A and B are shown apart, each in its own frame.
Chain A
Amino acid sequence: AQSVTQLGSHVSVSEGALVLLRCNYSSSVPPYLFWYVQYPNQGLQLLLKYTSAATLVKGINGFEAEFKKSETSFHLTKPSAHMSDAAEYFCAVSGEDFNKFYFGSGTKLNVKP
C-alpha cells in the first residue's frame, strides 16, 4: 500500500522567509503526488500535482514542489511566506489504486509578522 509521511506537524516562519514543508512517500508503483491546502473551516484545495511529467511542479499562490525519486520526496516550497499562507497543508499520493488517495497527517504552517 502507498503511504505519505509529513515531517513536522507544525512549522513556523516569519513573513518573507522561505517556506519548506516536507513530504516523503512510499509506493510500489510510480506515484502521483499532490499537495493540498486547508484553511480553517474549509475543504481541501489543490495547490499542485506531480503526474510523471516535469519533476519541478509549480502551483498556485507561488508554491512549487520537486519530485525526487531517489529520496522518495515531494517537498513543498515557497520563496517568501505571506500571512495569507497560514493554513494546514496535506501531501497525498495515489497510483496503486486509482480510486484511493492516501494523505499525510498534515503540517500546520504559522506565519509570524
Chain B
Amino acid sequence: DTAVSQTPKYLVTQMGNDKSIKCEQNLGHDTMYWYKQDSKKFLKIMFSYNNKELIINETVPNRFSPKSPDKAHLNLHINSLELGDSAVYFCASSRGQGNTEAFFGQGTRLTVV
C-alpha cells in the first residue's frame, strides 16, 4: 500500500487554467505538507497543515489554495496558472514531532504551456 499518494503524476495545462492536485496519506500522521521542487531541484515548503489546520504558509501567491477535508487528505488548488508555476509538487506527511521524518509522495510534474 502506498503511504503517501498524490494524483495526477503528470499535469499539462494552459496558462490561465485552474487545476487541482490531490494527496492522501494512510500513515495516520497529523501533519501534511506541500513542497515545490523547481527545475534546479531546490525543495521549498509551501504549506503545512496539522490536524486540518493551516500552520505554515510560506509567502505563496494566493492563487494557491490548500484544502484539508480531513487529517488524511491535503489537496492543492491552483488558480490562473502561470508559466512560472511549472515544477514538481510533492505532498508529504509526518507525525509533526520534529524528530520524525517526512514521508513523500511520488510528486506531480506540472507543466504550464
A residues touching B (Cβ–Cβ < 8 Å)? 32, 34, 36, 38, 41-46, 49, 51-52, 88, 90, 94-95, 97-103, 105-106, 108
Contacts and interface: CB of A to CB of B under 8 A. Distances in A.
Contacts of B48: 99-100
A90 B110 CA distance: 22
22 contacts: A32-B98, A34-B101, A41-B107, A49-B99, A51-B99, A90-B43, A94-B99, A97-B56, A98-B31, A98-B96, A98-B97, A98-B98, A99-B48, A99-B56, A100-B56, A101-B45, A101-B94, A102-B45, A105-B40, A105-B42, A106-B41, A106-B42
Nearest to A94: B98
Contacts, number: 66
Most buried by B among A43, A100, A108: A43
